[in-house]
Each structure stands twice: as structure tokens, then as C-alpha cells.
Amino acid sequence: MQNLVTSHSSGLAPAQAALLIGPTGSGKTPLGELLEKRGWNSRQCRHFDFGAHLRKAADPSRAASMGLTSSEISVVLGCLEHGTLLENETFGIAAKILDSFVSNAINDPEELLILNGLPRHVSQAKMLVEHVTVHTLLVLECGADTVHDRIRLDSGGDRGHRDDDTKNAIQQRLDIYRRRTIPLIEHYQSMGARILRLPVGVSTSALQLLTDLENK
């Protein structure tokens, strides 16, 4: 594997990270939370759920601690309302949210950052290199029918609080994942990252995924 270390703009080495990707409902958040609880390969993990932090950023009292301006909060509200992604011109919002999390959560350079929801597309990945070093992709693989069944049954146990899981919204997120996120696999593979694929069924639990991961 080639050397993926990149200098951070602050002069410090960026946090080491593994990126969780998979279609909506595939179990990324439950797996990320379990990795934070149990660790992986004898390393402490810190789970960064970008979607959850983006929703927090819609609250001005929380957004202030992330360094977001009122105009940036408006962009966040628009993304949440329309289900759109942050593009190049608004990537600074994502960077502020991530940097705020890293500065508060990562206390040791040996801790592993588990990225969930960021980057979502290749342009974001290219901009992220000054902030984190992604050396592993954990790819949760399941089809659209499985996604719909998992969300309907709340197989991961993390959908009960979501009010945006309408049929149309789910399909929109699946389309964005196929067009924008899947190309991240080829991008990071070309950078020398390790790609670990984890098949997901309707009833697959986070514990099963972690067991599969530990056996790879």
C-alpha cells in the first residue's frame, strides 16, 4: 500500500480513518456505534456520523460551537429539506463540522476515526485529504429490495426517530448513492486504500457485520 499520509493545514498529521459506505438503511450507523464501543484490531474507534451532526448543525445553538455562520446554517437547512449533498462550494461547512468533532473526540493519534456519511462523493474525498487520511473502506453491500425491507422492519434499530424515510426519499437516496457514492470505491482503491466488502441481508445485525469484519 502506498503512503497515504497527508500534511494537515495546521502542520499536524491528519487523523487516520476508515470510511463506512453503503446504501441508506444498510446498517452503517449501528456498525459505527459498535466499533466505537468495542474497537477494532485493538484500536479505539471514534464514530463520526455526518448525517447526525448535520442535523445538529441545523440548530443555531449547536451550530455556533461548530463555527458555522447564519448563512451556512441556511445551507444546512436546505440540504436537509431537499435531500441534497454539500458540493465543492459549500464543502467548508462539512470541514467545520468534521474538524469540530475531531478536535473534541480524537485524543490519541492511534485512535481510528470511523467516517460515516462523509465523504459522499469523489470531489469531497479530494478536499478531505487535508483533514483525514482514509486508509480503509468498509463497504456494506445490499440491494434496493433489502434496503426497503430493512428500513420497514428497522433491522438496524436506528430508524425509529427518522421521519424522512418515505418511499420517494429512500429512492432518491439510493439513486444518489449509486451515482455519487459508489465511485468512491474506485477512487480510494486507486489511492492504495484497503477495500473490505460486507454483505448485508434483511436481518443482518451490527454484531454480525463486526464479526465478519474481524474475520477478514
* pLDDT per position as a tens digit, 63-119: 989 999 999 999 999 998 888 888 889 999 999 999 999 999 988 888 999 999 999
pLDDT tens by residue, 127-170: 999 999 999 999 999 999 999 999 988 887 776 666 677 888 88
**pTM of the entire predicted model:** 0.87
Largest CA distance in the chain: 47
What mean pLDDT is reported for the chain? 89
Instruction: Choose among 191, 192, 209: nearest CA to 200.
Output: 209
Average pLDDT score over residue span 34-42 = 95
Could you tell me the pLDDT band of residue 12, with boundaries at 50, 70 and 90? low
Q: Catalogue the E-assigned strands of the chain.
A: 15-21, 45-49, 112-116, 132-141, 194-199
What is d(CA 82, CA 213) in angstroms, rounded to the nearest whole number?
34
The three grid cell numbers given for residue 126, joined into one nine-digit string:
479530494
Of residues 70, 76, 71, the one with CA closest to residue 58: 76
* Residues 192/2, Cβ–Cβ less than 8 Å: yes
Q: Are residues 29 and 38 in contact, defined by beta-carbon separation less than 8 angstroms?
A: no
Amino acid symbol at 72: E
